Amino acid sequence: QEQLVESGGGLVQPGGSLRLSCAASGMIFSRRTWGWYRQGLGKQRELIAYVGDIPMYVDSFVKGRFVISRDNAKNMVDLEMSDLKPSDPGFYYCHTAPDCGLQWGQGTQVPVSS
């Protein structure tokens, strides 16, 4: 059974750091491009970064602050977040990029205190 499980979210202060992790199971992980998506309150889910052979940052506001990486041996994709800003809060999800129809995981919440 295909499954995506995100973890690592939590309350941080502006300027703080977090590392999000996503564990994928039940699929051929290495052949796919993986992304991290953010869904802010009242907003649509949007792709912010993805990694195939190299990392790419769709949201220019996270470039230089977030680092996406993958470990094909462990079937995991991480998002290292630093210098968090009040505009970063939301639920963060990992998924293929573009969406290939896998069931979405529960996501992990990243609130940023004001």
Percent of the chain residues topping a pLDDT of 70 = 99
Residue-wise pLDDT tens digits, 15-46 = 999 999 999 998 889 999 999 999 998 999 99
Reduce the DSSP state of residue 4 to 3 states and report it.
strand
User: Three-state SS across 20-81?
Assistant: EEEEEECCCCCCCCEEEEEECCCCCCEEEEEECCCEEECCCCCECCEEEEEECCCCEEEEEE
Q: Which of 111, 113, 108 is nearest to 36 (CA)?
A: 108
pLDDT at 1: 85
Q: Which residue has the tokens 């202060």?
A: 13
